[in-house]
């Protein structure tokens, strides 16, 4: 091969780029935006995951915690620590702040769960408080502000990340964390000691003396530890670190987001590769005779393959580089801010992420390389003579479909255009399907959350559910006389004269691991016969489950479910007799007598009240929790806060993607037909008539694609939603999208298309008549 | 003998649509010879040219170029053969639309082992002042001259011309023929040209008349008539 002269075909690259500037510019921008966003995300996510992982050691995060109803004795402590752990007091007090918010205050830590101070300074004097950074952000609290806590007031001296609360879960069984209405704070020893001891929650953190080597070992160790501790003291709660959502959720979510973003990237790259493939096919068809001449003159197939590969690869490479620069600078911060808006993460340092570079630059380049190479190698394997004769079909000559002459001419014309461009329309179908899937996600999530909040108002069991501080063990009928006395006292002190109140008994069970997509607690309600609040005639021995439970775990009447004691290896089996329409939680209903019998409790045991009005005659100290409308919509409220902003970006991205694909593909159809368009102009057709012939086909196809893909996307989205949500979070939200969303999607698609069509009409107008008379190729 | 063809046969189609295009063609072309394949449409002349050019294959028969057997060559060897020995001119110019006249000629120069000087070719073809124009800025004759330039700049052993004046008017056709004649004389390039135009026959050394896939006649012109004097 000649090495003296540089291949003159190289000079085509810049001219081709300039000549098709619009097309390549939108592909470039789309690639830059996609790669930049994903690269920025991966860098932020990678750096933050490192900061998150490092925080376990750096801030000495606990290996687990448990809660007791009273402070444990020294001897109990000693006995427990003999099981190979070290205990740390991590008591807290929880109160309202006067703005419907709840604040959980700890004593400043100096051994475990150390704080990462992000703004301001550490505690200096009594009355100072360090507040969780994200709670402060979400409630517009700054350093120097005052915060009310019950009757006291504290001054915020610093904002910090609490490493054991990177996701602000108030309770480990909560469906979702709450970064708006629930916050964490720390005060000095002196302030903490002034809180009344009967209001303190006795929470203990532990660290293993010898850390477990693996996740399996950690689980085994904690299961054993739970049984051992339960023999020493009564456990109100036992949360080993690996199931502690406040610690683990952030890491799992960041890992899950990463996988989702990479899928998004590769779908985008494949779509863009398809666009390049269509472009290449069109270029080969257009330059067929030139290719034939070059091959006849001695150009090798490999030389031509290389020639046509250069531009797509250069554009991808340039976009990847620009995208990475944007990703590492501006977009990294945007992505980091999204995380800081949801999670209380410690300060992170940007870390060069070679994996992100490989995933966002090398892999897309390889995908593009493979796609363009395979297409070109296959397309250019025809003989020079076939290229010269423009016989580009591999099998025989293309034949025209027979179309009845009874079909009007313009309809036949449009059908021919459709058959000529089926490849482009297939890509359009795939692209629209994906773009609209994104759009549906962006529009559906807020709609689903709104719908959930609306339906909750009509679907509550009652306006207020009061769960009393009556531990089940106090009601265990096997206990001795002193327990019976205590239980009688408790019963007396939790009586109410509110006529709306209806007592219920309750018990908590847990879905065993492996029985469902996610292990979580099931609230068992024992209800009275002819209950005022549960409108189902549940007979003796019958079991109903809530529709949320049935939907999430796909259980139907007649099925047998298996549940276990949360902290014991004791299992129960129940046959489901009916589904009760209630979406507010995963729960089970049975007659109160059956509940007591099943779990061995006193027959008259009750642990809470249903009521449509507030109960005011029971001391708040006796109330463990109240489930009202606000509590029920916590999951949707937090999802709205965490993802609402992102949904707008997703919608915008979907519309841009849709527009770009339409622009590229309809432009290619017009370019492919430039000569016939020019000829029809010579024949006397007006621009408007030509536009009707060439654009109406694409219009019909686009509208049809929109109409066909929307139901398909709904099915896909429902599948993703049900599986993703079922596995990722406790609780349940029904996938229920109002019809208006689909109409909106169709309209957004149609309007976007008409914007593109304006460009295409302009393009048709700009084709000169002389094109038909020239045959330079 | 630079090129030798022995009993070349070629047919297309099957069954009722089976057509025998070449029915045992044998001929030889000497180095520097100007050979004209003359015949009406469907006589098989273009197919024969394509087989000589290695862009089509014969069903049977043998082809030798410079003593080397061509019809046993693999695709890669055929490409090298075309690259090193052949120049092609077609009825349609097939220029690269976004390369200038000079660059289109350089495309040919890139392929040659001992290419001619591009500037010289531009002058020879009368394209020097158009060298920076794109093909769509040229007339048909100028475009065909450019395609001739692309073919001859690589200094091929054989120049294959398939109806090079087929799309041109009388004056431009004469102008192109003059150029081909000049190339033949100036560079001693072997030329095999396909045409259906009887009037051109006089400018070649050898005229081979084809009809129905067979050689009907072979004429050696003792004296070549200058293209300038051709009339039709």
Nearest CA in chain A to B103: A8
> With an 8 Å Cβ cutoff, are A297 and B111 in contact?
yes
Residue A303: the pLDDT is 93
Rounded CA separation B150/B161 (Å):
12
Nearest CB among A5, A9, A296 relative to B109 is that of A5
Are B118 and B105 in contact by the 8 Å Cβ rule? The answer is yes
- Interchain contact A775–B (C-beta under 8 A): yes
pLDDT band, residue A776 (cuts 50/70/90)? very low
CA-CA distances (angstroms) from residue A77 to A71, A84, A87, A88? Answer: 10, 12, 8, 10
Closest by Cα among A389, A599, A353, A659 to A476: A599
- pLDDT for the residue numbered A760: 85
Residues 131-190, chain B, touching A (beta carbon < 8 A): 135-136, 138, 143, 147, 150-151, 154
A372-398: average pLDDT: 84
Q: To probe the interface with A, which of B14, B48, B93, B94 has the most A CB atoms within 10 Å? A: B94
What are the CB-based long-range contacts (under 8 Å, 24+) for B172-176?
B172/B139, B172/B140, B172/B141, B172/B144, B174/B227, B174/B228, B174/B230, B175/B141, B175/B145, B176/B141, B176/B144, B176/B145, B176/B148
Q: Region A516-541: what's the mean pLDDT? A: 88
- Residue percentage of chain B with pLDDT more than 70: 100
pLDDT score of A427: 78
- Is A188 within a domain? yes
Q: Is the model's pLDDT at B222 over the cut of 70?
A: yes
Query: What is the per-residue DSSP string for A741-761?
Result: HHHHHHHHHHHHHHHHHHHHH
Can you give the pLDDT at residue B220? 93
A381 near B CB under 8 A: no
pLDDT tens for A499-522 read 999 999 988 898 988 777 777 889
Residues A621 and A507 in one domain: yes
Mark whether A586 and A662 lie in a shared domain: no
The radius of gyration computed from the CA coordinates of chain A, to the nearest angstrom, equals: 33
Query: Which residues in chain A have their CB less than 8 angstroms from residue B108's CB?
Result: 297
Residue-wise pLDDT tens digits, A258-293 = 777 887 788 888 888 888 888 888 889 889 999 999
Chain B residue numbers with beta carbons less than 8 Å from the beta carbon of A19 are 98
Tell me, yes or no, whether A226 lies in a domain: no
Least confident of A50-54, A194-198, A446-450, B162-166: A446-450
Question: In B66-117, where does DSSP find H-type helix?
Answer: 75-85, 101-111
Note whether B96 contacts A9, CB cutoff 8 Å: yes
Q: What is the pLDDT of residues A211-255, one digit of tens each?
A: 888 877 887 888 888 888 888 888 888 889 988 989 988 888 887
Question: Could you read off the pLDDT of A400-409 as tens digits, one per residue?
Answer: 677 777 888 8
Residue A682, token pair as written in the block: 């010579």
Do A368 and A474 lie in one domain? The reply is no
- Residues of chain A in contact with residue B115, where contact means CB-CB under 8 angstroms, are 2, 5
Which tens digits make up the pLDDT trace of B108-140?
999 888 888 999 889 988 899 999 999 989 988
Domain ranges for chain B: 33-57+83-229
Position A485 pLDDT exceeds 80 = no
Let me know whether A301 and A178 are in one domain.
no
* Highest-pLDDT range among A6-10, B129-133, B228-232: B129-133
How far is Cα A582 from Cα A732, in angstroms, rounded to an integer? 11
Q: Are strands B86-89 and B158-162 parallel, antiparallel or unpaired?
A: parallel
Coil, strand, or helix at residue A606?
A: coil
Q: Check whether residue A339 and residue A292 sit in a common domain.
A: yes
Closest CB to B107 among A8, A296, A300: A8
Share of chain A above pLDDT 90, in %: 32
| ipTM higher than threshold 0.90 | no
- Mean pLDDT over A183-199 rounds to 92
Q: Which of A293, A294, A396, A671 to mutate to test the interface with B (most CBs of B within 10 A)?
A: A293
State pLDDT tens for residues A662-702.
Answer: 888 777 778 777 878 888 887 788 888 888 888 888 888 88
| Residue A191: domain span | 95-200
**A599 and A472 co-located in one domain:** yes
- Structure-token pair, residue B122: 């531009």
Q: Which of A58-72, A127-141, B165-179 has the lowest mean pLDDT?
A: B165-179
**B88–A296: do the CB atoms touch at under 8 Å?**
yes
Task: Decide if A609 contacts A465 (C-beta within 8 A).
Answer: yes
CB contacts of A769 in chain B (<8 Å) are none
Tell me, yes or no, whether A469 and A573 share the same domain.
yes
Do A636 and A776 lie in one domain? The reply is: yes
Residue A5: per-residue pLDDT: 64
Rounded Cα distance, B158 and A71, in Å: 104
Q: How far apart are CA A689 and CA A476, in angstroms?
A: 86
Query: Structure tokens of A9?
Result: 């075909």
- Which has the closest alpha carbon to B57: B81, B40, B33? B81
Residue among B110, B143, B147 minimizing CB distance to A2: B110
pLDDT, chain A, mean:
85
Residue A593 has pLDDT above 80, yes or no: yes
How many domains is chain A partitioned into structurally? 4
CB-CB under 8 Å, A300 with B135:
no
Contact state of A293 with B87 under an 8 Å Cβ cutoff: no
Residues A552 and A651 in one domain: no
Tell me what pLDDT residue A3 has: 45
Looking at the structure, do residues A470 and A619 belong to the same domain, yes or no? Answer: yes
Q: With a cut of 70, say whether residue A395 has pLDDT above it.
A: no
Residue A73 located in a structural domain: no
Mark whether A355 and A271 lie in a shared domain: yes
Distance from CA of B222 to the nearest CA of A (A): 32
Q: Over range A475-502, report the average pLDDT.
A: 71
Among A1, A17, A18, A297, the residue to mutate for chain B (most B Cβ within 10 A): A297
- Over range A448-452, report the average pLDDT: 82
- Residue closest to B135 by CA, chosen among B104, B108, B157: B104
Cα separation of A202 and A208, whole Å? 20
Helix (H, G, I), strand (E, B) or coil at A52: helix
Q: How many Å apart are CA A761 and CA A758, to the nearest integer? A: 5
Query: Residue A152: which of A114, A112, A120, A199 has the closest Cα?
Result: A199
Beta strand spans in A198-263 (E): 202-208, 237-240
Q: Which of B92, B102, B104 is nearest to B144 (CA)?
A: B92
Q: What is the mean pLDDT of residues A607-615?
A: 91
Report pLDDT digits (tens) over A548-567. Answer: 999 888 899 999 999 988 76
Query: Do A109 and A28 belong together in one domain?
Result: no
In A3-42, the residues whose Cβ lies within 8 Å of chain B are: 5-9, 11-12, 15-16, 19
Note the pLDDT of residue A623: 78
Q: Give the domain-ending residue among A396, A428, A452.
A: A396
pLDDT in tens, B14-57: 887 888 999 999 999 999 999 999 999 889 999 999 999 998 98
For residue A105, what is the DSSP state?
E
Q: What is the pLDDT of residue A1?
A: 43
Q: What whole-number distance in Å separates Cα of residue A222 and Cα of residue A239?
A: 9
CATH of domain B33-57+83-229: 3.40.50.300
Two tokens, residue A46: 């990678």
Select from A179, A200, A221 the last residue of a domain: A200
pLDDT at position A337: 85
């Amino acid at each position: 091969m000649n090495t003296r002269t540089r291949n003159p075909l190289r000079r085509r690259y810049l001219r081709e780029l300039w000549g098709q500037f619009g097309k390549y510019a939108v592909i470039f921008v789309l690639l830059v935006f996609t790669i930049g966003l994903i690269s920025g995300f991966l860098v932020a996510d990678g750096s933050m995951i490192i900061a998150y992982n490092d925080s376990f050691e750096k801030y000495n995060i606990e290996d687990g915690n448990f809660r007791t109803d009273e402070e444990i004795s020294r001897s109990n402590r000693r006995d427990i620590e003999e099981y190979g752990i070290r205990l740390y007091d991590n008591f807290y007090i929880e109160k309202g702040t006067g703005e419907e918010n709840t604040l959980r205050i700890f004593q400043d830590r100096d051994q475990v769960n150390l704080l990462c101070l992000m703004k301001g300074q550490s505690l200096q004097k009594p009355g100072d408080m360090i507040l969780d950074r994200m709670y402060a952000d979400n409630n517009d609290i700054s350093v120097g502000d005052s915060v009310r806590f019950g009757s006291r007031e504290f001054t915020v001296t610093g904002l910090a990340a609490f490493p054991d609360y990177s996701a602000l879960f108030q309770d480990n069984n909560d469906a979702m964390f709450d970064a708006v209405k629930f916050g964490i704070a720390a005060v000095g020893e002196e302030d903490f000691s002034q809180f009344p001891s009967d209001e303190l929650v006795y929470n203990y953190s532990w660290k293993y003396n010898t850390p477990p080597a693996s996740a399996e070992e950690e689980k085994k160790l904690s299961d054993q530890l739970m049984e051992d501790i339960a023999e020493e003291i009564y456990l109100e709660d036992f949360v080993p670190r690996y199931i502690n959502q406040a610690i683990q959720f952030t890491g799992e979510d960041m890992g899950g987001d990463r996988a989702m973003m990479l899928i998004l990237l590769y779908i985008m790259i494949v779509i863009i590769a398809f666009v390049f493939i269509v472009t290449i096919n069109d270029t080969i068809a257009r330059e067929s005779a030139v290719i034939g001449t070059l091959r006849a003159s001695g150009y090798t197939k490999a030389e031509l393959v290389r020639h046509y590969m250069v531009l797509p690869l250069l554009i991808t490479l340039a976009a990847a580089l620009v995208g990475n620069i944007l990703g590492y600078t501006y977009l990294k911060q945007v992505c980091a801010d999204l995380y800081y808006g949801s999670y209380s993460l410690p300060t992170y340092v940007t870390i060069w992420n070679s994996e992100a570079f490989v995933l966002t630059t090398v892999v897309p380049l390889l995908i593009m390389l493979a796609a363009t190479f395979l297409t070109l190698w296959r397309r250019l394997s025809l003989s020079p003579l076939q290229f010269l004769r423009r016989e580009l079909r591999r099998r025989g000559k293309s034949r025209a479909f027979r179309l009845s002459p009874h079909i009007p001419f313009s309809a036949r014309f449009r059908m021919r255009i459709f058959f000529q461009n089926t490849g482009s329309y297939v890509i359009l179908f795939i692209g629209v399907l994906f773009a609209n899937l994104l759009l549906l996600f962006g529009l559906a999530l807020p709609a689903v959350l709104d719908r959930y909040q609306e339906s909750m108002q009509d679907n509550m069991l009652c306006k207020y559910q009061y769960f009393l501080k009556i531990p089940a063990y106090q009601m265990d009928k096997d206990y001795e006389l002193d327990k019976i006395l205590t239980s009688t006292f408790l019963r007396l002190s939790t009586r109410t004269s509110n006529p709306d109140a209806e007592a219920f008994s309750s018990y908590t069970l847990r879905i065993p691991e492996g029985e469902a997509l996610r292990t979580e607690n099931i609230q068992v309600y024992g209800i009275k016969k002819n209950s005022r609040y549960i409108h189902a005639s549940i007979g003796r021995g019958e079991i109903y489950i809530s529709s949320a439970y049935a939907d999430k775990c796909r259980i139907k009447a007649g099925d047998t479910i298996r549940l276990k004691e949360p902290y014991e290896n004791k299992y129960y089996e129940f046959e489901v007799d009916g589904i009760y329409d209630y979406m507010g939680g995963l729960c089970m209903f049975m007659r109160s007598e059956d509940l007591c019998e099943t779990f061995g409790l006193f027959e008259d045991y009750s642990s809470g009240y249903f009521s449509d009005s507030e109960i005011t005659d029971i001391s708040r100290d006796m109330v463990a929790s109240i489930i009202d409308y606000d509590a029920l919509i916590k999951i949707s409220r937090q999802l709205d806060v965490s993802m609402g902003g992102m949904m707008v970006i997703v919608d915008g991205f979907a519309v841009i993607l849709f527009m770009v694909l339409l622009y590229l593909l309809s432009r290619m159809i017009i370019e492919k037909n430039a000569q016939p368009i020019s000829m029809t102009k010579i024949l006397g057709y007006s621009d408007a008539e030509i536009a009707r012939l060439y654009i109406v086909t694409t219009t019909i196809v686009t509208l049809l694609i929109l109409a066909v893909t929307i139901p398909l996307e709904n099915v896909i989205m429902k599948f993703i939603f049900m599986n993703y949500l079922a596995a990722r979070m406790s609780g349940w939200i029904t996938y229920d999208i109002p019809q208006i969303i689909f109409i909106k999607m169709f309209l957004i698609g149609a309007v976007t298309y008409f914007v593109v069509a304006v460009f295409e009409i302009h393009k048709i107008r700009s084709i000169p008549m002389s094109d038909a008379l020239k045959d330079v190729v | 003998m630079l090129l030798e063809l022995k009993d070349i046969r070629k047919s297309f189609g099957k069954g009722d649509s089976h057509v025998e295009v070449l029915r045992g063609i044998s001929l030889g072309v000497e180095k520097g010879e100007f050979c004209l394949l003359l015949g009406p449409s469907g006589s098989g002349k273009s197919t024969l040219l394509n087989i000589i050019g290695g862009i089509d294959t014969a069903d049977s028969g043998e082809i030798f170029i410079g003593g080397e057997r061509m019809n046993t060559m693999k695709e890669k060897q055929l490409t090298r053969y075309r690259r090193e020995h052949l120049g092609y001119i077609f009825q349609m110019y097939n220029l690269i639309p976004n390369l200038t006249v000079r660059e289109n000629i350089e495309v040919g120069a890139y392929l040659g082992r001992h290419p001619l000087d591009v500037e010289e070719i531009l002058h020879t073809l009368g394209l020097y002042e158009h060298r920076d124009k794109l093909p769509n800025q040229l007339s048909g004759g100028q475009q065909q001259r450019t395609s001739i330039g692309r073919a001859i700049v690589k200094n091929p052993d054989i120049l294959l011309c398939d109806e090079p004046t087929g799309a041109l008017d009388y004056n431009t056709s004469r102008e192109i023929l003059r150029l081909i004649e000049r190339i033949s004389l100036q560079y001693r390039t072997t030329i095999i040209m396909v045409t259906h135009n009887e009037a051109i026959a006089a400018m070649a050394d050898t005229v081979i008349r084809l009809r129905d896939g067979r050689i009907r006649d072979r004429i050696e012109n003792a004296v070549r008539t200058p293209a300038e004097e051709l009339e039709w």
